[in-house]
Structure formats: structure tokens, C-alpha cells
Amino acid sequence: MRHHRTTPDDTEEPPLDDEHLRRTSLYDLHRSHGGRMVAFAGYEMPVRYEPGPMAEHQQCRTRAALFDVAHMGVVNLSGPAVAEALEQLVPSAIATLGPQRMRYTLLTNDDGGVIDDIMVAKEDANRLTLVVNAAGKDADIEHLRAGLPDAIKVEHRTDLALLALQGPEAVAVLRRLAPEVAGLTFMQTGSAKVAGIPVAVSRSGYTGEDGFELTVATDKAVPLAEVLLAEPEAQLAGLAARDSLRLEAGLCLYGHDLDQATSPIEAALGWTIQARRRTEANFPGAVRILAELRDGPRRRRVGLAPVGRKPVRDGAALRASDGSPAGYVTSGGYGPTVGAPIAMGYVPDGLDAAGTELIADVRGTDVPCRVIELPFVPHRYVRGG
């Protein structure tokens, strides 16, 4: 999440400041299920439950895990030619996105850096729904309002909550409760009633697994969660498992792997820029971004496989075999599915080839690492066609 440099895990628990932390509508449910609460992105969120993050991680990889992601921001954009208007702030093709389809994209700044990574869903010709990261949502909304025409209405939907049901058996859970959602494919949206509760559904998520994200009225979030948890395949999971899952899937975390100095090309996100947008070149930062597409960036995000059992955390400096500086680690930890430590980081052009040997400095201890292709664990999305 934006500007939040602490990766939640089983060992770190930032001190709480109850006076300034916000809570999602599922706070009491987390406490009743034994959730260990920590400060994260301005919210008091569950980092883990019993028996712990390893079990929650494997629950998501093998069955179904339910995550509270209501700290994220849901933003509605509405007005004439709204998709064309949003294209002036992002490098992706939104105008040609079909109704009930989603796209992962980036808000970029004039220097080609990433302000935030966001999801955009097209409701119809005049309505879009965005999901933005928690810690930066207020700044994102200000950015949208400043950059979009006056005719476009920007509405922060604080009356809505977002839940993520992820894992290979997520579809079995939802098919039982709302059969129509089983026909959705990856990055497709729809609507349904789950035990009589109206929800907006997208077949999406940030774990690398098949799954769904469910948008529901805030006052219906707890009843919806309870209905889902009553199914035998589903269990709650917290921030620590969510982090290890997205890391194994090679997915970026804003504030770690993305920031306002990092370009989409450096971050290996050039695939978010479709051919038409490259030709039009009318998005913020296009000069730098298109030059890096053409000539290559000075550094690239890569996967790293540390040798041995010692985790390599974000911030660790990297060296080449000749001792010269070779970038730094942006995300790292233990990959439960991989069964070994894993990490991501930025290395100079020329040191990004798979198999390149590097050395990470972990609190004064040298840990050999090998560059590896991402993702660490294959994605299991259900794609159409």
C-alpha cells in the first residue's frame, strides 16, 4: 500500500494508536475469531489468526480464504466519455474495455513514476468503478478530481465494503450460494445475491489464485462474511498470508515494489500499456515510459531466490559477484508454497537475466541470491476463451 513500508508478518506488530486508526466494518468479527490486530495503512487490521499465517497461506492455495480488504478505496467515476477522460491519467486502454470487464492499470505522474496501481471496472459507457490502495486513497481521489474534467463526478463510496474470497475452491463456495457467478472469467464483473445480500462480484484478486472480490453495502459486510465462512471450504486469512501469497505470485506492493520514482517499465509492467496507448502517447510520463519501452530501462524488477533458509527482507542491498552495487530488495520473506525464502528487487540492466548470481547484505551477513523469473508460483486464473 502507498507509503507504508512495513510488510506485515508473524514477527512484526507496529504499535497501535487507537486514536488515529480507522476500523473496517468487520473489526468485531476479526476479534471474535481471534484475529491479531495491527496498524496497517491507517487501519487496525488482522495480521493473522490461529494457527497462523502458514496455515492461512496454504488454505488459500488449496481451498478458500476470506480476506477483509475493506480498507481499500472504492471510487465511482461517472459522466460523458468517462473512460476516455480517465485515459488522460493512466497509460492503459480504458475506452475500448468492454462492459463488465476490468483492467489493472497505473496512475502515473509527469516524470513517469507510479502514483498508485489501481483496478478499473467498466460498468457502462458512462460509469467506471475504481479500487485504489488504502494508504493513498485520499491523495488518489484528489488526483482524480484535479485531473478529470468538471463533467466527471468522482465519488468515494464509503458506504461500501470489499471482501476477497480466494483459492481454488472459492468458486465452489460461491456457486453454492450464487450459481450465476461461476460463469464469470478472470477480470469479468457481474452482480448477484448471496443469501439474499446484493453484491457486485468480480473474478479477480491479488493472490495468484482463482477467486472473487465482493463489493457489498457496509452494513451487510458482516452477514456476508458469516455466510461465506459457514461454508466448509472457507476460512479467514490476514495480512501476513496475503503478503506471502502476492509475493509468490510476483505481484507488486505499492510503497515497496512501486513508488513515484519507479516507472511501469522498470517494474516489469509494460504489459499494462496497450498498442494504441503507446501510439497516442498522451498519458502522464509518456516521454520517459515510451523511451524505456524502446531503449530499455536502467534497472528492472526481478525475482530473487536466496540460497539457504535465511529470509532476505526489503531494503537489503545487493552486490554483483565483483562486489559492485547491484540494486536492492523491495519485497522479501518466506514462500510457504515454494518452501524457501523468496524476494523481489531492482537490479541494473545487464544483471537481470535469470541465473545471475548476486549477494544480499542481510544485517551484515552475505546471503547469495540467484535471479529467477517471476512468478515463483504459477497463476491459476480462470481465463475466458
- Starting at the edge strand found earlier in the chain, the sheet holding 127-132 runs 101-108, 114-124, 127-132, 73-78, 153-156
Distances (CA, A) of 380 to 47, 166, 210, 211: 25, 11, 6, 9
pLDDT > 70: percent of the chain: 95
For range 24-32, the mean pLDDT: 98
Cβ atoms of 169 and 151 closer than 8 Å? no
User: Residue 13: is its pLDDT beyond 60?
Assistant: no
For range 313-336, the mean pLDDT: 98
Using CA atoms, how far apart are residues 385 and 106, in angstroms rounded to an integer? 26
pLDDT at residue 385, as a whole number: 61
User: Residue 7: is its pLDDT beyond 90?
Assistant: no
User: Residue 154: is its pLDDT beyond 60?
Assistant: yes
- Per-residue pLDDT band at 340 (split at 50, 70, 90): very high
For the record, the C-alpha cell of 43 comes out as 487501519
Using CA atoms, how far apart are residues 290 and 273, in angstroms rounded to an integer? 10
pLDDT at residue 20, as a whole number: 84
- Per-residue pLDDT band at 3 (split at 50, 70, 90): very low
Cβ atoms of 70 and 79 closer than 8 Å? no
Q: What pairs with residue 36 in β-bridges?
A: 48
For range 70-98, the mean pLDDT: 98
pLDDT single digits (tens) 108-140: 999 999 999 999 999 999 999 999 999 899 999
Using CA atoms, how far apart are residues 359 and 185, in angstroms rounded to an integer? 41
Task: Specify the residue for cell string 490461529.
Answer: 50
pLDDT at residue 384, as a whole number: 81
User: Residue 299: is its pLDDT beyond 70?
Assistant: yes
User: Residue 305: is its pLDDT beyond 70?
Assistant: yes
Give the alpha-carbon dihedral of 61, 66, 72, 74, to 10 degrees. 110
pLDDT at residue 12, as a whole number: 35
**Per-residue 3-state assignment (H helix, E strand, C coil) for the chain:** CCCCCCCCCCCCCCCCCCCCCECCCCHHHHHHCCCEEEEECCEEEEEECCCCHHHHHHHHHHCEEEEECCCCEEEEEECCCHHHHHCCCCCCCCCCCCCCEEEEEEEECCCCCEEEEEEEEEEECCEEEEEECCCCHHHHHHHHHHHCCCCCEEEECCCEEEEEEECCCHHHHHHHHCHHHHHCCCCEEEEEEECCEEEEEECCCCCCCCEEEEEEEHHHHHHHHHHHHCCCCEEECCHHHHHHHHHHCCCCCECCCECCCCCCCCCCCHHHCCHHHHHHCCCCCHHHHHHHHHHCCCEEEEEEEECCCCCCCCCCEEECCCCCEEEEEEEEEEECCCCEEEEEEEEECCCCCCCCEEEEEECCEEEEEEEECCCCCCCCCCCCC
Give the alpha-carbon dihedral of 192, 198, 201, 207, to 10 degrees. -130
User: Residue 293: is its pLDDT beyond 80?
Assistant: yes
Using CA atoms, how far apart are residues 163 and 161, in angstroms rounded to an integer? 7
pLDDT > 90: percent of the chain: 94
Using CA atoms, how far apart are residues 207 and 167, in angstroms rounded to an integer? 8
For range 306-331, the mean pLDDT: 97
For range 24-51, the mean pLDDT: 97
| Amino acid at site 263 | S
User: Residue 2: is its pLDDT beyond 60?
Assistant: no
User: Residue 31: is its pLDDT beyond 80?
Assistant: yes
User: Residue 10: is its pLDDT beyond 80?
Assistant: no
Residues in the chain: 385
Mean pLDDT, the chain, integer? 95
pLDDT at residue 18, as a whole number: 57
For range 236-251, the mean pLDDT: 98
CA 100 remoteness from chain centre: 20
pLDDT single digits (tens) 156-201: 999 999 999 999 999 999 999 999 999 999 999 999 999 999 999 9
In this structure, what are the phi and psi dihedrals at residue 115, rounded to the nearest 5 degrees? -75, -40
In this structure, what are the phi and psi dihedrals at residue 144, rounded to the nearest 5 degrees? -65, -45
For range 371-378, the mean pLDDT: 98
pLDDT at residue 311, as a whole number: 96
User: Residue 19: is its pLDDT beyond 70?
Assistant: no
